Structure 1
Amino acid sequence: MAGVLRIHFTERDFRHVQLARSADPIWEAILGLHVLTGPRHRLPRHLGTWRRRAAERLGSARLRAACRLLNDLAPADAPYFPDFLTPAESEEGMSAALSTLRATSDARLARELREAARHRALPRWTGQLASGDRELLGRVADALLRVHTELVAPDWSRVAATVAADAERRAVALEGGLVALLAGLPPFVWRDPVLTAPYPVDFDLRLRGRGLRLIPSFFCHTTPIAVADPALPPVVVYPVSREPPTPPAAGRQAPALAALLGASRARVLGALTVASTTGSVAAGLGLSASSVSGHLKVLRAAGLVESRRDGARVTHRLTSRGHHLLGH
């Protein structure tokens, strides 16, 4: 990797770090397209499998055209692509994001496309977009919606559950303080007061008291991605951790636990070494949510697991008896 991303914190920034707890539809659409069009040999196995399935969905001429249009603006190998493609409003959902994108000012379109042209040759049609062509901007928004709907949405339950599982693990790490969270966030390295990671170019992100929004992504798989414009709220998208770490004691006792509880139920119990939702456990273990829910009911009745509701979410964690059974 040619460069390094350096995120510079001040004391005030530590009070304003946000960790997204759900998948971002715009980022997943763009990064899913990167998985589909980027080098195959760099993909982890689970994304290679997704890419083969996604390629089978490319029968529609309109979908292929949408992919080509977005690839012109945000190719997988680009060290920079325009920030207007990933509005912060995407945390409120696809509709809010696309409304914001369609309202991008002419000045911003020109500025960010001029910056993109510094890094690579752009197709001629982007000149019209840079001049504020509203019809073209609408086509970009439509292309993002089509890519999300036809390529990413068919696997959204898996995407969402995997991202939620990662967010749960980070939230547990955060109980040890923000430094504990940052220090355990691959592929980053924390050296107070700077968080660094491999990056396509050398880039310094100075937070200046604004804090940082961290967004876990299913399709991000090489390096983190930072919003480039220093005037925008700082955002960094990072690759999810696919599986929670398996405690050594649980690994040693696995055969005995499987004999006692049954193989699947023992795996569910072991997955709760960090607080998790039913969906995140199901995604991490490759089981159905209904199956995991059944195992949780039995483990809860045995006093090994407790479940707590927090708004619309129900989080499960080990009781002291569950920790003892796992040898913690």
Structure 2
Amino acid sequence: MAGMLRIHFTPADFLRVRFARSPDPMWEAVLGLHVLTTSVDRLPARLRLWRNRARGRARQPDVRGAFRLLHDLAPSDASYWPDFLTPAESEEGLAAGLRVLRETSRARLEREMREASRHRPLPAWTRRLAAGDRTLLDDVAAAVGTVHGGLLAPDWSEVEAAGAADRAHRMEALEEGLGAVFASFTPFVWREPVLSAAYPQDVTLRLRGRGLRLVPSFFCHTRPVAIADPGLPPVVVYPLRLDESHAVHENAALARLLGANRARVLTALATTRTTGGVAMRLALPASSVSGHLTVLRNAGLVASERAGMYVTHRLTPRGRHLLGHLQEDVGRPGRR
């Protein structure tokens, strides 16, 4: 039965709202699996493309095993899945999140697995996890890491770039106040002091001065997802804002300016990469990538530095500025 998520703010909560800088790796691992098990006709175009690319990766034996294990704990049609899979510490990175997951207490495992069993039948092996089996808990953590590395990592620069664009949009709205930011969240309706959205069931989240951390998600596409336990720090993951046609026009504008492959190289450096990493990401010869990097570096768009045996490349402020302006230009009415 469809319900509503209602988030109640107090004046103190407005002072403690935080916007994550990028999508969270552990939330994305779970939500990425959900995309693979969701009917294609329910997905936006960008996720249909990702799903087509990722299905081949999902057939790798280690990824397939990790997929099955996590699907038992957090299937896409579940109205509840355990909060220990997405610890708050993962905002510091995947390694920090996996470390905390492995340290989940037996009491919490038992409590959250019992709650999951109230919503759906669970496979027999989960009873050992609920009893605090540390080997199984390590397996769960390893499965999250495998899914992230095997399914998401090849496209993580795209995920981060989309997250950065979403954050820029929210910060622009912030010029009109926090209420304007809340009004910019498409899945939500803002009627002060309550932020609400469609949800699998009726849930009321009273912040009571604790504030709220809002996390954009590339793979969350229909409705937000909130931490279920009211005793944990409040976190809501929401579908990031991405204009499909806008992204196509932006890539086309960049290609016209720099040439198709050079534009692809520049875009790939939303995340710092080595020459080989860019070549692998784009399926281009390393020698070709090296030539494009030289041109971009000479233009002041890319900076390179040696790190041990490798040379890493990243966008300079000028490079990021260029991408930002292209994004603004193609988004203005009347521009082509």
The corresponding residue for 2:253 is 264
- In the alignment, does 2:13 pair up with 1:4? no
Indicate whether 1:222 and 2:222 are aligned. Answer: yes
SS at match of 2:222: coil
Provide the C-alpha distance between the structure 1 equivalents of 2:107 and 2:172, rounded to a whole number of angstroms. Answer: 42
Which residue does the alignment assign to 2:236? 236
Query: Following TM superposition, by how much is the alpha carbon of 1:40 offset from its aligned partner in structure 2, in angstroms?
Result: 2.4
* Cα distance per residue 1:32-72 (max 9 Å; x no partner): 00001122221111111111111111332221111000000
State whether residues 79 and 119 of structure 1, in contact with CA within 8 Å, keep that contact through their aligned partners in structure 2. Answer: yes
How far apart are residue 245 of structure 1 and its match? 9.8
Provide closer, same or farther for how the CA distance between residues 96 and 282 of structure 1 changes in structure 2, counting only shifts above 3 A: closer
Q: Deviations over 1:172-219 (max 9, x none)?
A: 111211111001111100011000001011101110000000000000
Mapped partners of 2:8, 2:224: distance in 1: 15
One-letter amino acid of the structure 1 residue matched with residue 101 of structure 2: L
| Cα 1:315–1:108 shift into 2, 3 Å | farther
2:102–2:141 contact (8 Å) kept in structure 1: yes
Q: How far, CA to CA, are the matches of 2:231 and 2:66 in structure 1?
A: 29
1:165/1:281 contact within 8 Å kept: no
Aligned partner of 2:132 in structure 1 is: 132
Structure 2 counterpart of 1:120: 120
2:161 is aligned to 161
Question: 2-side partners of 1:21 and 1:280: how far apart?
Answer: 18
Q: 1:267 to 1:9 in 2, by over 3 A?
A: farther
Query: Does structure 2 conserve the Cα–Cα contact (< 8 Å) formed by 1:83 and 1:112?
Result: yes
Look up the match of 2:190: 190
Number of corresponding residues: 285
Classify 1:152/1:234 alpha carbon distance in 2 versus 1 (closer, same or farther; 3 Å).
same
The letter for the 2-side match of 1:106 is: R
Residues 191, 266 of structure 1: alpha-carbon distance in 2 compared, 3 angstrom cutoff: farther
The Cα of 1:297 is off from its aligned counterpart by: 7.9
What does residue range 64-143 of structure 1 map to in structure 2 within 5 Å?
64-143=64-143
SS in 2 for 1:142: helix
What TM-score does the superposition give when structure 1 sets the normalisation length? 0.78
Aligned counterparts of 2:200 and 2:59: Cα–Cα separation in 1: 33
The runs of 4+ residues in structure 1 deviating greater than 4 Å are 265-268, 278-283, 313-318, 325-328
CA RMSD of aligned residues (A): 3.4
Aligned to 2:56: 56
Separation of aligned partners in 1, 2:45 and 2:333 = 30
- CA deviations 1:276-313 (Å, max 9, x no partner) are xx859989xxxx998xx79x989xxxxxxxxx96xxx8
Indicate if the aligned counterparts of 1:165 and 1:280 stay in contact, CA closer than 8 A.
no
Q: Provide the C-alpha distance between the structure 2 equivalents of 1:195 and 1:59, rounded to a whole number of angstroms.
A: 40
User: Which string of whole-angstrom CA distances, capped at 9 and with x for unpartnered residues, describes residues 198-255 of structure 1?
Assistant: 1011101110000000000000011100001001000000001112998xxxxxxx9x
Q: Name the CA distance, whole Å, in 2 between partners of 1:64 and 1:20.
A: 30
Is there any run of 5+ residues in structure 2 with no aligned partner, and where? 258-265, 272-288, 302-315
- Taking a change above 3 Å as real, the CA distance of residues 314 and 238 of structure 1, as seen in their structure-2 partners, is same
Residue equivalent to 2:149? 149
Q: What is the CA–CA distance in structure 1 between the aligned matches of 2:245 and 2:48, rounded to whole Å?
A: 23
Contact conserved, 2:31 with 2:219, CA < 8 A, in 1?
yes
Residue 3 of structure 1 aligns to which amino acid in structure 2?
G
- Change beyond 3 A, Cα 1:51–1:133: same
2:309 aligned residue: none
Distance 1:46 1:245, change over 3 A: closer
CA contact (8 A) 1:187 1:198 kept: yes
Question: Do 1:129 and 1:137's aligned partners in 2 also have CA atoms closer than 8 Å?
Answer: yes
- Matches of 1:57 and 1:184, distance apart in 2: 35
Taking the aligned partners of 2:245 and 2:207, their CA distance within structure 1 comes to: 31
- Quickly say closer, same or farther: Cα 1:315–1:134, change in 2 above 3 A: farther
Question: 2 CA distance for matches of 1:281 and 1:242?
Answer: 19
Correspondence for 2:172: 172
